Amino acid sequence: MAGMEKDLAGKIAVVTGGSRGIGRAIAERLLRDGAQVAICSRSAAAVRQAVRELAEATGGIVDGHVADVSDLEQVRAFFRFVDQRFGGLDILVNNAGIGIFAPVADLTAEQWRRTIETNLTGVYYCCHEALPRFRNRGGGFIINISSLAAKNAFAGGAAYNASKFGLNGFTEALMLDHRYENVRVCSVMPGSVATEFSARAPDSSWKIAPEDVADVVSFVLRMPARTLVSRVEIRPSRPAR
């Protein structure tokens, strides 16, 4: 398409929660697009295995580090690792997220805190680390993997809905804060995606594939610099009734 970047050669990308599911598919897609990619997750073994498999599948330059995005010190250590290993940062995909589903009366304070600290505060931590690094490169791109649950509340979703509604507000303000520094920011909002995320609907045949979300991320990232796709909603064409 006219004006679109053909690929992401020369770009360095971080994908949080890149060991499985949507994050893993995004990491693979960015590697196929020519970017160098760093992933993190809470499990060192899962990171190691994903890095090995991604490298074998794509032949690309990929590495990873254990980091819980809800822990500021671990996030700082992860970004220092990226500095040392890759020497810069152009793209941040905030994908790591959890879903704990319970009515408010049954939701524990620990479950509430874990959801908000992962899905919302963790995104702030990563953006706060990425933005000064973008300045050194003259700009950058942040993609926040939100959800249709950021606009549609559902029973049992209080913690998850609050984290994702909050994430959309954060993402819009972030975009307005940094757009004149050549930082583009986009919220990608999928409906149900076929991953291990939710055991609530185990039949996955009707769901969005993680690779479809990755295709959208790749498209958004390759838009010409003059144009920002700031929000994308993605839904299954024929959801289970």
Ligand X SMILES: NC(=O)c1ccc[n+]([C@@H]2O[C@H](COP(=O)([O-])OP(=O)(O)OC[C@H]3O[C@@H](n4cnc5c(N)ncnc54)[C@H](OP(=O)(O)O)[C@@H]3O)[C@@H](O)[C@H]2O)c1
We find the least distance from the C-beta atom of residue 30 to ligand X, in angstroms, to be 15
Instruction: Give the residue from 16, 232, 13, 233 showing the smallest Cα distance to 124.
Output: 16
Find the binding residues for ligand X in span 53-82 (CB under 6 A): 67-70
- Active-site hit among 124, 125, 160, 180: 160
Using the rule CB under 6 A, give the single segment among 130-138, 171-179, 186-194, 222-230 that binds ligand X.
186-194
We find the least distance from the C-beta atom of residue 85 to ligand X, in angstroms, to be 18
**How many CB atoms sit inside 10 A of residue 73's CB?**
10
For position 161 contacting ligand X by CB under 6 A, the verdict is no
Taking residues 13 to 52 in sequence order and writing x for each that binds ligand X by CB under 6 A, - otherwise, the string is ---xx-xxxxx----------------xxxx--x------
We find the least distance from the C-beta atom of residue 135 to ligand X, in angstroms, to be 25
CB-nearer residue toward ligand X: 122 or 157: 122
CB-nearer residue toward ligand X: 23 or 157: 23
The two tokens of residue 27 are: 């990491």
Active site residue 124: no
Cβ-contact 163, 180 below 8 angstroms: no
Cβ-contact 102, 115 below 8 angstroms: no
29's CB contacts (< 8 A; 6+ apart) are: 211, 214, 215, 217, 218
Question: Binding ligand X by CB under 6 A: which of 56, 106, 110, 196?
Answer: 196
Q: How far is CA 42 from each of CA 10, 69, 93, rounded to the nearest angstrom?
A: 28, 8, 16
